[in-house]
Structures are given as C-alpha cells and as structure tokens.
Amino acid sequence: MKKLIAILSSLTIAAAAPLPIIACSAKESNFLRVKYIANQTTAIKNLENINEVNKELEKITKKNDGVVSLIATRNSNQTDVTVKVTIEQNYKIDSNTFIIKNALIKPITGQVVISKIKDQRLDLAKEWEKEIELDITNYNENLKITAKSEAYIPSVGNANNYPQKSNVTDVTVEGRTLKIKSLGNKGQDIITVNVGRYEPVKFKVSVYEEKYIENPIGKGKSHYYDWQEANPNRKEKYIEQVKTNSKTKFVPYIDAALYNGDKVEDILQQNKNIDGLTFAFANQDNKNQDKLSISFAGLDKTTEGYKWYTEHKLLPDILKPLASRDLFKNSRVSYGGYNAGEAPEKNLPWILATKLAPDDQVKAQKMLEQAFIDYQQELANLVGQKMVKKIDFDIEGGAQDDKYKNDTALLARTIAGMKKADKEWDFSVTVAVLNDGLISGPNKGMQVVETFIQEYAKVGLSVNDLPKFNPMVMDYGNDIYEKAIAEGKTNFDLAKQATESTMRQIQSIIKTEFHQTITDAQTYAMMGSTPMIGVNDTEKGVFTLEDAKDFYNWSHTIGIDYISMWSINDDRGLSYPIYDDPNYPGGVFGGQPANKSQTSHGLLYLNEYDFTRVFSGDWELV
C-alpha cells in the first residue's frame, strides 16, 4: 500500500471514472503521522518487561520509511508505556511520542525490579556521553537510585601491570535517567545500578575510538564494524525465537588452559541458562611418556607452574563457579583438539597406550580406561563433587590419519567397554566436516565415525548406547564460503547443510553395522553440532548472530541433543583485558576494537556474550 500513490500517478485514468485514493500510509511527502505508527502497535500487550516491548517496536521501525527508532519507557501506572519516535532529518512528524495502553503486565504490588541493561559503548569520534532511561517496576520518587562506575580490571596476577588504572566514565542519576559521560580515556568500565535494597543491575561500558585495524599477516578481513558487511545476504536483523525444546542443551566449549576469557563466575552471572561447559582440551602430559598421565593442554603435572594453574585458574575461575550452581555435573572434559592433532603421538593418550602395551590390547584398554576415570575423579575431588561420567573426544587433523586407525579403534573399544559396564557414561565424538558432511577417503573423518559405530556394534551395545556425534560446522575453506555468498546463502545455510548431511551419513553407517534403520528425529537426538562464532579460521566464513539465531531455532525444532560453540572465551566483539600475556607486554585494554583472536570473535558491533545469550535461549537483550 505504501507504493499505491506512486503507482496510480503513473497511470492514465479517464476523468469519468476517478479512483478514490485511501490515505493508508504514514508518509505524505516525507510527512509522518504518529497515529498510523501507533495503530501498528495493537499487538503489544501484557509483555513482561520494557526490553520485550522495545524488541517488538524494532520490528515496526523496519516497516516504516523515515523512522529511525521507536523507544518505549514505562509510565507511572506501571502498565502503559510512552514511545518516543526518532525520524530521519528530511522527514517531519505531527508528534514525536505516543502511548501504548497495557503494554506491560501489572507488576506484583510493592515488588521493585529493574530490567536488564545492554552493554553500552562510547565511540569518542562520535559521542562522549549517553543517557539511558531505567525501566523500574513500582517506581516511586522515594526510591533511592545510585550508580557507580568502576574500571574492569583483570583479577588474576598483579593488577598494577594492567594499563587501565581507573574508571574511564562517570555516571550520575537524575530521576530514572542514567547519564554516562566519558572522562576522555579509552578502556572498559562496569556500571552498577542500585535501586534501594533490591538486586542491583550491572553492565559494561566500552570507551574507544573506531579506527582502522591491520588484518593479521596472511589473513583476509578478520574484523567487522558493520552489520551489513558481515551479513552480505541478509536484509533483516529481526528473527522470531521459536519455543524452547527442553531436550536440546547448550554446552559451549571453554579453552580451559587459555588463561584469558575464562572467568566462569562472570559468564554465569550474565547467562543464567547455560546447561554446562565442555572443557577443552585434556591430553597426555607432554613431559611424561612413560605412563598415562592426563592434564589440560598436556601441562607437566610435576611443576610449580601446573600447581599454580590448578590453584589460581582451573579451580577458582572454572570449576568452583560451576560447582556452586550445580552445573559441574553437566559439564564434560574434551580430549584432543586441533593442536593435539598436530602432534598426536605426544598428545593423545590412546596412541601412547598402544605404545606402552604394543602386544597386549587388553592391557592397553584397561590402562586407558583407568586413566580416563582417574582424571575425571581428580577434577571431581578438586570441588568435592561426585565424579562426572561425561567425556568428549575431538578427533581432527593428524589424529584422524590412517596410521592411527588402530589407536582410534582402541579408544572406541575402551569407551564401548565402559558404556557396557556402566550405562551412566555419556560419551561424544567431535569430528571435522565440510558443508556436505563427513569427508570420506584416506585420513578423513568418515572413518573415525565408522570405527566408533563398528566397535560399539562388536561388543553388543545397542544403537541407543552410541556416543553422540558432534560435527564441527566451521572452517570449510574460503572457496566454499565465497561460492555460498555468491549463491545468496548464509553461514546458517551451510551449518544446517553440514549437520543434515552428517545425520544422513550416520544413519547409513548405523544401517550397515547394526542392520537398523532409524528416523531423522532419532538420529538428531544422538547428535550435537558446533559452529565457530564470528570470523572463522578460514576467514571468508563469518558466523553472525543472525546465523546463531537461525541455528538455535532450527536445532530446537528438530530436537538435536545439544548445541555447542567454539568458544565462550572469544564471545565478545571488542577486546578482552589482557595483561599477563608475553605477546602483549604492558597489557591490552578491554573493550577496544580487535581482530578475531582467542578472546574476540571479530564482530565489533556485538556485545560480550551475545552468542551465549542466543544459544542459551535468552534473547531479551539481543
């Protein structure tokens, strides 16, 4: 209907038969009528908080030419909202506000709640201050509202080495308006808002200056300021969330030996719906090749360095926060990984087990089983919890070579035997795929999956006992990404194709080995799927937040067992504060533009943990 006037004006219409023109558009010669916009909001009723209202208004904004934003604030009666209309400079409007009646549910009498606040940013080249209208249920003028700004400084090591010494913003409160002002320096602060004696709300503010960043040597584009550039085949940001499938879990990978981006307490405070974590990567102690001894990253367990890592990083930063929320029991250790595949004989305990007992496979199997159990118990003892019977095996790179096929078979027999003896064991096998699924042929992932299914069948286990198979839907290669972009596809399309194709291949192998045909739903229920968020290692692949939303919706619709992601360490667009990395003497400011790295996914327009919020089903702020 918006184009009706233009269409009619281009036609020659006889004077004897004039057609009436109905004024159904908000726009008349760049003049907007607020009543027309308000009439589009009738479905906004009885929502839980102001963030949900504003998400609905965002959809309406996109439908109206000339409208820049529609932002709602709660009225004093607690249920109505006032919407402020911001328009483009070359437009005019008859009123810049309107009211939506009963947009919010009536709050419980006397209960004061302040809604979540998105992380904010101040680009010094564009703005030095920002105002945020606080959404507070049962607000009254007698409520004491205070706010403070503190520097976000890492808590490990000597904080005096970190370059940001104090807060870089000042914050004041006037009524329900929060006023944030830059003090002129770059960095990252945490702002805490207190409303009387009620639970405070915290959010981050990053102060930076948008600037040109050199890409890493030998790499293409590794960061994106602009949403459209990262999403060349998308026109809309808004994606409706489907109903959550309670059977589909979210267990992201965390690099347990990275030393940065691993503050699980911080992660869990901001993300309540995480089901557990996958600890990457446990491997053979690199300095001990005389017996099986397992540690994260293959660290030498006899050194003071390992003792420091356990006491100051692994236990306080990762394990204890999980245990305190009863999530340790849902987390799993992952063995292998890309780096281990670069030197399999040094890193992978199942290869060493064969070396230690070359003529006795039974002994090698018992040795390997005991090593897995010992390490699971070691981690459980650190937090005084029951041993968790969940293990993942990430077999990629050189680890899937044909020359290690017998070693892979030993691993498969070992965990099949453990499963047969104790059905509580929950194993998963993570494998590399292309967009059309598992790769067949010498030294490829197809034979890895075949080996596990074959060994499980040999010991008499059922299809339901098989490990979960988890394709890594990432890093397909620049040629594949460029072809997909040219064909109008998104990274979600490739991830879906890769997962579907892997599902079909698993069905085929099961039919061969178990002589059983299983449904798509049954197969998805024994699978995970893991994308790499943001810029991939083959950098033409960019997995955006919209890809994540589509992937979440599809995964919950088909009932996949779990979604993971690589990794929660780099789930932030801007830089993570670093000061103890020898590659960055003097430190790295948090909240600054940065290329894709182990602590940033390279999508600079996103906030910290946006991907985690999407995959865990908490879309309120994304």
Whole-number CA gyration radius for the chain = 27
User: Is residue 170 within 8 Å of 181, Cβ to Cβ?
Assistant: yes
Residue 156 confidence (pLDDT)? 57
Count of CB atoms situated within 10 Å of the CB of 286? 15
CA distances from 611 to 74, 139, 229, 570 (A): 28, 32, 18, 10
CA distances from 230 to 59, 196, 234, 239 (A): 21, 42, 9, 16
Q: At 160, is the pLDDT very low, low, confident or very high (cuts 50, 70, 90)? A: low
By C-alpha distance, which of 109, 158, 118, 114 is closest to 135? 114
Cα–Cα dist 542/595, whole Å: 13
pLDDT of 17 above 80: no
Mean pLDDT of 198-224: 90
Q: At 367, is the pLDDT very low, low, confident or very high (cuts 50, 70, 90)? A: very high
Question: By mean pLDDT, which of 133-147, 183-197, 363-377, 442-456 is the weakest?
Answer: 133-147
Mean pLDDT of 143-162: 79
Structure token digits, residue 163: 């370059």
Bond preceding residue 281 cis, omega within 30 of 0? yes
Report how many helices (DSSP H) and strands (DSSP E) the chain contains, helices first. Answer: 18, 25
pLDDT of 22 above 60: no
Mean pLDDT of 298-323: 94
Residue 163: alpha-carbon gap to chain centroid: 28
Residue 18 confidence (pLDDT)? 40
Backbone angles phi, psi at 206, to 5 degrees: -105, 130
Mean pLDDT of 353-373: 97
Amino acid at 589: F
Residues contacting residue 463 through CB under 8 Å, at least 6 positions apart: 510, 514, 516, 518, 522, 526
Fold of 227-616: TIM Barrel (3.20.20)
Q: At 579, is the pLDDT very low, low, confident or very high (cuts 50, 70, 90)? A: confident
Across the chain, what does the average pLDDT equal? 91
Mean pLDDT of 46-71: 90
Q: What is the 3-state secondary structure (H, E, C) of 301-321?
A: CCCHHHHHHHHHHHHHHHHHH
Structure token digits, residue 115: 């809604």
Cα–Cα dist 387/375, whole Å: 9
Residue 216 confidence (pLDDT)? 84
* pLDDT tens by residue, 506-538: 999 999 999 999 999 999 999 999 999 999 999
Helix (H, G, I), strand (E, B) or coil at 266: helix
Mean pLDDT of 242-249: 97
- Could you give the percent of the chain with pLDDT greater than 70? 93
Cα–Cα dist 60/514, whole Å: 53
Cα–Cα dist 323/5, whole Å: 64
Q: Which residue has the higher pLDDT, 162 or 276?
A: 276
Count of CB atoms situated within 10 Å of the CB of 220? 11
Report long-range pairs for 168-172 (Cβ below 8 Å, ≥24 apart). Answer: 168/207, 169/122, 169/205, 169/207, 171/147, 172/147
pLDDT of 24 above 60: no
**Angle at which helices 405-421 and 361-382 cross, to 10°:** 60
- What count of residues does the chain have? 622
Residue 7 confidence (pLDDT)? 34
User: Is residue 252 within 8 Å of 564, Cβ to Cβ?
Assistant: yes
Mean pLDDT of 546-574: 97
* pLDDT tens by residue, 278-310: 999 999 999 999 999 999 999 999 999 999 999
Q: Which residue has the higher pLDDT, 457 or 51?
A: 457
Residues contacting residue 330 through CB under 8 Å, at least 6 positions apart: 249, 251, 275, 276, 390
- Could you give the percent of the chain with pLDDT greater than 90? 78
Residue 1 confidence (pLDDT)? 35
Amino acid at 393: F
Q: At 157, is the pLDDT very low, low, confident or very high (cuts 50, 70, 90)? A: low
By C-alpha distance, which of 349, 328, 332 is closest to 340? 349
pLDDT of 11 above 70: no
All structural domains of the chain with their residue ranges: 32-100, 113-208, 227-616
Question: By mean pLDDT, which of 108-112, 424-428, 586-590 is the weakest?
Answer: 108-112
Give kind and range of the element (H or E) at residue 87.
Answer: strand 81-87
pLDDT of 118 above 50: yes
CATH, domain range 113-208 = 2.60.40.1080
Residue 409 confidence (pLDDT)? 98
pLDDT of 20 above 60: no
pLDDT of 585 above 80: no
User: Is residue 485 within 8 Å of 451, Cβ to Cβ?
Assistant: no
Residue 167 confidence (pLDDT)? 97
**H-type alpha helices, 330-466:** 338-342, 344-347, 349-356, 361-382, 405-421, 445-458
Residues contacting residue 33 through CB under 8 Å, at least 6 positions apart: 26, 93, 94
Cα–Cα dist 292/308, whole Å: 22
User: Is residue 69 within 8 Å of 9, Cβ to Cβ?
Assistant: no
Mean pLDDT of 535-543: 96
pLDDT of 476 above 70: yes
β-pair partners for 5: none
User: Is residue 334 within 8 Å of 278, Cβ to Cβ?
Assistant: yes
Residue 16 confidence (pLDDT)? 37
| Torsion of Cα atoms, 440 then 446 then 447 then 453, to 10° | -150
